[in-house]
Structure 1
Amino acid sequence: METVTFQNPDMAWEIAANIHLPPQFDAENTYPTVVSIHPFGSCKEQSSGSVYGKALAEAGFVVIAYDASFQGESGGMPRWVESPSQRVEDVSHVIDYAVTLPYVDAERIGVIGVCGGGGYALNAALTEKRIKAVVGITPVNLGRLFREGFSGFDPVGTLTAMAAQRTAEARGGELQVNELLPLSLDMAKENGLTERDVFEATDYYKTPRGQQPGGATRMLFSHAQKTLSWDAFAFSETLMTQPMMVVVGQKAGAFGAYRDGMEIYGRAHASVDRQLVELPDWSHYDIYDKDEPVGLALKRMVPFFSEHLGGDNAYVQAAAGW
């Protein structure tokens, strides 16, 4: 693995990324490449990089797992901004960087994303046609989630509160940074926060299982207004032309990945090859890092990318071991 930073001419800050390289990597060759997008509140060292990035690299792909602007080790101020438009633009910036690398085949670039990153991956593919295949892993349409559960089903009231807070900050007030999860499993239990997705997210992000310094699970409240008017799947009926795979667990939770995955699969009529992978016995956060559901996802994902991006068949055969 190589750690890099790069700056696109369109940005005033650097993007930090980990490049996962295949076994017996040879810089004189060119490789199919996958850009990997982390979840909302996450970082490149968690599921997008250490699980799926590492596994796809072992299967013969170059994988670029990066931190979103304003998050992790990437630049951008103020910190912990969750901006869907910037998140989607980051994908193009990473591809801009990837195509300058001599070992990246610019005609064989795919994208994956986990959770909110899955929604961003699917949305990016609508307009970024350098993406030749896309996989949403337990994908969440963050705009829908903000309009519903994250706003207490009161999006206008939430926007009003954001407006007041932004004015207060512009006048020198303290930034309101919201913690997205209970700080521990014990705190979740004490406060009755045992809904599947909330509790399992806490188990992933707030314990040694998945905890990483860059995975802050924080959001700057005043700068999230645009999220409430954003729709990851707008115009997908006509613009999702690339091969597309959606991986969802049937054990549904409040964050709505199963619902969102089924929606984009149903709407993407123009995709030349749309595939749905349903995992009956697994939940949203199981698919982040647990061996069995990750293995089931990879058994479908690796041949999918091999077909549409090309790859070393020996590695694809090895994927049968997952």
Structure 2
Amino acid sequence: MKTVEIKNRDMAWPIAATIQFPPDFDDKQSYPAIVAVHPFGSCKEQTAGNVYGKALAEQGFVVMAYDASFQGASGGEPRWIEDPTQRVEDISRVIDYAVTLPYVDEARIGVLGVCGGGGYAINATLTEKRIKAVVSITGVNIGRLFREGFSNYDPLGALEAMAAQRTKEARGGELQVDELLPATPQVAKQNGLTERDVFEATDYYKTPRGQQPGGATRMLFSHAQKTLAWDAFAFAETLLTQPVMVVIGQKVGAFGAYRDGMEIYGRATASKDRQLVSLEDWSHYDLYDKSEPVGLALEKLVPFFKKHLHETSTAAKRVAAE
């Protein structure tokens, strides 16, 4: 694995990323590449990178996992901004870097996202046609979630509060950085926060199971306004033409991955190949790192990527043409 710092000409800050290589990697060869997009409040060292990214590299893909702008080891100030437009733009900027690498075949680039990263991956695929296939693992439409549960079903009230807080900060007041989860599973239980997704997220992010320094599970409240007006799936019926696989668990939780997965699968009617993988006995956070559901997901998504990021590379075609 190699750690890199991505900085394109139009970027004011660097993006921190890791590149995972296939077995017996040869930098003179050309490989299919996967961009791995981490969840909301997460980082590249967690599920998208160290679980799915690792498995895909072992299957012959070059995998690029990165930290979102304003988060993890990437640049951008102030910290802990969750900006969907920026999150989607980050995917294109990582692809900009990938296509400069001689061992990445520009015609064989896919994207995989987990949780909020799944929604961002799908949204990027609508307009980023360098993406040839996309997989959403328990993907969440973060705009829908903010308009509903994350705003206590009062989006206008949330927007008024964000406006007031941003004015306060502009006048020199302290930043309001919200912690998204209880400190520990024990604290969650003590406070009655036992809803499946909230409790299981705490068990993943706040214990050695998944805890990483870059996975802050924090959000700058004052800069989240635009999230409430964003929709991961807007225009999907027309623009989502690439192959798409949606992986969901049937144990439903408050964050709504099952609902969102069913929605985008139903709306992806323009896709060349849309597939739904619905796992009966598993939940949102089971699909982050538990061996059995992850294995079931990989059984489907690895052949899917191999099919659509086919073996005939552009480099090979150029050689044949010459």
TM-score range, shorter chain: over 0.9
TM-score (ref. length: structure 1)? 0.96
Q: Deviations over 1:1-40 (max 9, x none)?
A: 1000010111110000010100000000000000000000
Report the counterpart of residue 171 of structure 1 in structure 2: 171
Q: CA RMSD in A?
A: 0.7
The 5 A counterparts of 1:151-162 are 151-162=151-162
The answer (yes or no) to whether the contact 1:60–1:311 under 8 Å persists in 2 is no
The answer (yes or no) to whether the contact 1:43–1:215 under 8 Å persists in 2 is yes
The answer (yes or no) to whether the contact 1:248–1:261 under 8 Å persists in 2 is yes
Report the counterpart of residue 224 of structure 1 in structure 2: 224
Report the counterpart of residue 279 of structure 1 in structure 2: 279
The answer (yes or no) to whether the contact 1:36–1:112 under 8 Å persists in 2 is yes
Q: Deviations over 1:116-142 (max 9, x none)?
A: 000000000000000000000000000
Report the counterpart of residue 192 of structure 1 in structure 2: 192
Shift of 1:311: 4.7
Distance 1:154 1:8 in 2: 39
The 5 A counterparts of 1:44-123 are 44-123=44-123
Distance 1:18 1:6 in 2: 10
The aligned amino acid for 1:131 is I
SS at match of 1:16: strand
SS at match of 2:156: helix
Report the counterpart of residue 26 of structure 1 in structure 2: 26
Distance 2:30 2:52 in 1: 21
Distance 1:40 1:10 in 2: 24
Q: Deviations over 1:167-218 (max 9, x none)?
A: 0000000000000000001110010000000000000000000000000000
Distance 2:310 2:61 in 1: 9
SS at match of 1:17: strand
Distance 2:311 2:220 in 1: 41
Distance 1:90 1:10 in 2: 12
Distance 1:176 1:22 in 2: 42
2:129 equivalent to 1:126: no
The answer (yes or no) to whether the contact 1:61–1:311 under 8 Å persists in 2 is no
Shift of 1:92: 0.4
- Aligned residue pair count: 312
Shift of 1:236: 0.2
The 5 A counterparts of 1:161-310 are 161-310=161-310
The answer (yes or no) to whether the contact 1:245–1:274 under 8 Å persists in 2 is yes
The aligned amino acid for 2:305 is F
Distance 1:6 1:98 in 2: 10
% identical aligned pairs: 77
Distance 2:276 2:28 in 1: 36
Q: Deviations over 1:215-247 (max 9, x none)?
A: 000000000000000000000000000000000
SS at match of 1:160: helix
Distance 1:10 1:259 in 2: 36
Shift of 1:74: 0.2
Distance 1:135 1:248 in 2: 11
Distance 1:63 1:278 in 2: 25
2:5 equivalent to 1:8: no
Displaced runs of 4 or more, over 6 A: none
SS at match of 2:271: coil
The answer (yes or no) to whether the contact 1:240–1:270 under 8 Å persists in 2 is yes
Distance 2:19 2:219 in 1: 26
Distance 1:32 1:188 in 2: 42
Distance 1:9 1:47 in 2: 30
SS at match of 1:156: helix
Shift of 1:310: 2.1
Give ranges in structure 1 of 5+ residues lacking alignment.
Answer: 313-322
